[in-house]
Amino acid sequence: MARQTLGKRKRTLSQQQAAWALLAPFLATYCAFLVYPFFKGVWISLYDWNLLAVAMNPAAAKWVGLHNYVHMLWGRNITWGPVSHPIIQLLALAVLAGAFGLHRAGRLSGRSAIPIAIAALLIFLLLGFTPGEGGRWFDRRFWPTVGNTVLFVALAAPGTTIAALLLAAALNRETRMMAVFRTLFFLSQVLSVTVVTLIWQIMFSPTQGLIDNVIQVFGGSPVSWLTDPHFAMLAIVVTTIWWSLGIAMILFLAGMQDINREIYEAAALDNARGWKSFWFITLPNLKRTITLVVVLQIILHFQVFGQSHLMTQGGPDDRTQVLVRYIYQSAFRDSEIGRASAMAVFLFAIMSVFAVIQFLIGREKSE
């Protein structure tokens, strides 16, 4: 008996050693390429760190503490108002009210409603800060850039979610033709950002593009989509929705195929077909998938870079300048690594909020 116990203990110990041996390469790579660069970036954000100067002389980096954060986030004579950015703030209030209403109606649990409400409230409050008369932000381009990024996310995330949901509902049939269409719509997801932006630059061309040619057929005038301040962001949003459609569509299809067919058959007996069955059966059963897709899209779209960089170079007049592109310019064009690192930490904080929301949703689903 004692030998058997000793044997089991030895076998358990060897399994643990094998597990650590298998995990060690991944942990070493993870720490070397993710954990260490992250903390190094936080440390650099506390320095006045000029890339070229420090490359020539490592002692050129000067400790400035939180100066980069203060310079980036605050300014002189900053005021707060409930309609400083009316569209986004009203949208945030609508999300806040929607989360509260769905929770009261029992359609959204507290664990899902509270993080969504907190995120909407933070967006509403933070976007209310603007420079008053004679005031200005210390970094004049930072907050407009954050506003552009939030606007992009506010348009692209719901747009992708709604388009993917409708597409999945249309393709949720077990036929060969539907399988072909699913493959065709998913193909955009595997293209690189360079190919995607090249395709849509041609589509948006005012002389050769398909969109303007269609507009002219109906008697309209050509639009300079990528150089007009009113349409440039919209063009990037349309490009991004087309590019991001594949994964969201697959998630919705998986969610729809998990719904019990007997529910639809019972509803059909009550003459609930088509849009009625979609509204009263499909949507309620997809609420967790919808929330998950929205959160994933928000996290993904906050990192937008290639579309803005390749299609409009952040223009016209910085209307499509987004946060990641501004970080890139500060670091590698202006050589201000410390300031760029502070902005990267700020972006990480925003992403962390939505990552926590995603974690809570996933935990709720597993329970």
Query: What DSSP string runs through 268-320?
Result: HHTT--THHHIIIIIHHHTHHHHHHHHHHHHHHHTT--HHIIIIITT-STTTT
In this prediction, residue 251 carries a pLDDT of 92
Residue 99 has pLDDT above 80, yes or no: yes
Structure tokens at 336: 């201000």
Per-residue pLDDT reduced to its tens digit, 303-318: 999 999 999 999 888 8
CA–CA distances in Å: residue 153 to residues 126, 157, 159, 234, 241: 16, 6, 9, 11, 11
What distance in Å separates the CA atoms of residue 182 and residue 100, rounded to the nearest whole number?
A: 36
Q: What are phi and psi of 135, to 5 degrees?
A: -95, 170
DSSP-derived secondary structure letter, 173: S
Q: What's the pTM?
A: 0.82
What distance in Å separates the CA atoms of residue 83 and residue 221, rounded to the nearest whole number?
A: 34
What distance in Å separates the CA atoms of residue 79 and residue 132, rounded to the nearest whole number?
A: 5
Residue of higher predicted confidence among 10 and 106: 106
In this prediction, residue 271 carries a pLDDT of 77
Amino acid sitting at position 105: A
Residue of higher predicted confidence among 203 and 83: 203
Give alpha helix (H) positions in the chain. Answer: 2-30, 36-44, 51-56, 67-73, 86-104, 110-126, 142-171, 176-190, 193-203, 210-217, 232-257, 261-269, 275-277, 283-285, 287-301, 306-307, 323-332, 337-366
In this prediction, residue 4 carries a pLDDT of 55
In this prediction, residue 326 carries a pLDDT of 95
In this prediction, residue 322 carries a pLDDT of 95
Strand pairing report for 62-63 and 47-48: antiparallel
Per-residue pLDDT reduced to its tens digit, 165-218: 999 999 888 888 888 888 888 888 889 999 999 999 999 988 888 888 888 888
Amino acid sitting at position 257: Q
Structure tokens at 156: 């692209």
- Reported as a pLDDT band with limits 50, 70 and 90, residue 38 is very high
In this prediction, residue 47 carries a pLDDT of 94
Which of 66, 60, 69, 62 shows the shortest CA–CA distance to 47?
62
Per-residue pLDDT reduced to its tens digit, 323-347: 999 999 999 999 999 999 999 999 9
What distance in Å separates the CA atoms of residue 157 and residue 95, rounded to the nearest whole number?
A: 13
In this prediction, residue 364 carries a pLDDT of 60
Residue 102 has pLDDT above 90, yes or no: no
- Reported as a pLDDT band with limits 50, 70 and 90, residue 55 is confident
Calculate mean pLDDT across residues 58-87: 88
Amino acid sitting at position 144: P
User: What is the dihedral sign for C-alpha 307, 313, 314, 315?
Assistant: negative
User: Helix/strand/coil (H, E, C) string of 224-277?
Assistant: CCCCCCCCHHHHHHHHHHHHHHHHHHHHHHHHHHCCCHHHHHHHHHCCCCCHHH
What distance in Å separates the CA atoms of residue 223 and residue 219, rounded to the nearest whole number?
A: 13
Q: What are phi and psi of 209, to 5 degrees?
A: -75, 150
- Reported as a pLDDT band with limits 50, 70 and 90, residue 29 is very high
In this prediction, residue 202 carries a pLDDT of 92
Residue 10 has pLDDT above 70, yes or no: no
Calculate mean pLDDT across residues 286-304: 89
Residues 294, 361 contacting (CB under 8 angstroms): no
Residue 367 has pLDDT above 80, yes or no: no
Which of 218, 75, 193, 90 shows the shortest CA–CA distance to 136?
75
Residue 362 has pLDDT above 80, yes or no: no
